[in-house]
């Protein structure tokens, strides 16, 4: 296998202590699509499989960080499945909404800025960069799938 460049998703997962052994994920292994949209003044995240399969993704982690510089991020929202729960994060989740079986940390409304959302589920990962404008619009700045 060729050496792989680490993606933000892998870096964030490593920083969070989740699957630290997988820090060398190559971007082509990111098989979860993450969509980001404004929804009545709030932000909604949706996940799907990049391969088009319709079976649900067992999403157990969603993290949003603010990109401060190329080398610096600040955690803004983390949604993590609690131990012993078999719940999955809904395919579409509005930031800040409670979800049974998950611990939600942060997740306050996002001010204007640049962000990255990362998800893990079904042995796969996905991420999407986006910007929030001063008027609350959400603009994605990366492709949904590699």
Mean pLDDT of 3-23: 39
Residue 102 within a domain: yes
Whether pLDDT at 46 is above 90: yes
pLDDT digits (tens, 9 = 90+) for 126-136: 999 999 999 99
pTM (2 d.p.)? 0.77
Give the torsion through C-alpha atoms of 69, 74, 76, 77, to 10 deg: 110
In a domain, 5, yes or no: no
Query: Does residue 129 belong to any structural domain of this protein?
Result: yes
**What pLDDT, on a 0 to 100 scale, did the predictor assign at position 17?**
42
Q: Could you tell me the CATH number of the domain that includes residue 50? A: 2.60.40
Residue (of 38, 103, 30, 106) closest to 74 by Cα position:
106
Count how many domains the chain has. 1
pLDDT in tens, 91-139: 999 998 999 999 999 999 999 999 999 999 878 899 999 999 999 999 9
**Residue 105 forms beta bridges with which residues?**
78
**6 part of a folded domain:** no
Closest residue by Cα to residue 61 from 28, 34, 29: 34
pLDDT score for 6: 38
**Residue 81: domain span:** 31-140
**pLDDT-derived band at 31, boundaries 50, 70, 90:** confident
Domain membership of residue 8 (yes or no) is: no
**Residue 16 within a domain:** no
146 falls within a domain? no
Residue 38 within any structural domain of the chain: yes
């Amino acid at each position: 296998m060729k050496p792989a460049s680490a993606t933000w998703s892998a870096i964030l997962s490593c920083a969070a202590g989740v699957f630290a052994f997988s820090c060398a994920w190559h971007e082509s292994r990111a098989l979860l699509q993450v969509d980001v949209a404004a929804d009545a003044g709030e932000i909604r995240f949706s996940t799907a499989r990049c391969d088009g399969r319709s079976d649900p993704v067992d999403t157990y982690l969603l993290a949003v960080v603010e990109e401060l510089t190329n080398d610096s991020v600040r955690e803004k929202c983390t949604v993590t499945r609690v131990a012993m729960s078999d719940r999955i994060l809904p395919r579409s989740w509005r930031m800040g909404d409670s979800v049974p079986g998950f611990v939600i940390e942060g997740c306050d409304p996002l001010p204007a800025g640049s962000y990255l959302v990362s998800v893990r589920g079904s042995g796969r990962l996905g991420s999407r960069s986006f910007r929030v404008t001063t008027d609350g619009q959400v603009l994605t700045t990366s492709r949904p799938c590699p």
